[in-house]
């Protein structure tokens, strides 16, 4: 894959991709969602190799792209679970092959199971209303 002039920057709490041949910056979050949080999809859309993307990420924001993708995926999962989406649906929407894999990753990331998270969120909403 041919290297392109690429820069990753953070602006107003969002991560943007600046490409030399694109007039406007691209939202890294939107690219990640569209590619189901897969490294290969991110590389394809930006037009760089995984190795070059790692370099650009670490220079731009100081984190590995796989770590950033995982964080983005878990933030999206938390948001969907807060909305009351079923766990299986969240797993499918975020590109997990099984809901079991999703539950395991969610628990490793947040320290509690998705069902526990939803119960706590529902309890918080209930307590806020009362």
Task: Write out pLDDT tens, residues 64-93.
Answer: 999 999 999 999 999 999 999 999 999 999
Please compute, for residue 80, the number of CA atoms within 13 A of its CA located in the half-sphere on the CB side: 19
What is residue 7's three-state secondary structure?
strand
pLDDT of 117 higher than 60: yes
What is the per-residue pLDDT for 10? 87
* Sign of the alpha-carbon torsion through 40, 45, 49, 54: negative
- Containing 17, the helix (H) or strand (E) segment is strand 14-19
Neighbours of 93 (CB within 10 A): 15
- Residue 1: pLDDT band with limits 50, 70, 90: very low
SS3 for 83?
Answer: coil
Above 50 in pLDDT, residue 7? yes
Assigned token pair, 110: 């947040």
pLDDT at 110: 97
């Amino acid at each position: 894959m041919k290297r392109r002039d690429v820069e990753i920057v953070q602006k107003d709490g969002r991560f943007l991709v600046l490409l030399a041949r694109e007039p406007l910056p691209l939202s890294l979050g939107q690219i990640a969602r569209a590619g189901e949080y897969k490294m290969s999809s991110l590389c394809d859309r930006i037009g760089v190799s995984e190795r070059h993307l790692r370099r650009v990420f670490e220079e731009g924001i100081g984190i590995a792209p796989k770590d950033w993708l995982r964080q983005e995926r878990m933030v999206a999962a938390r948001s969907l679970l807060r909305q009351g989406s079923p766990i299986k649906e969240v797993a499918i929407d975020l590109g997990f092959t099984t809901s079991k894999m999703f539950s395991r990753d969610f628990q490793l990331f947040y320290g509690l199971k998705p069902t526990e998270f939803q119960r706590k969120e529902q309890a918080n909403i209930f307590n806020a209303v009362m």
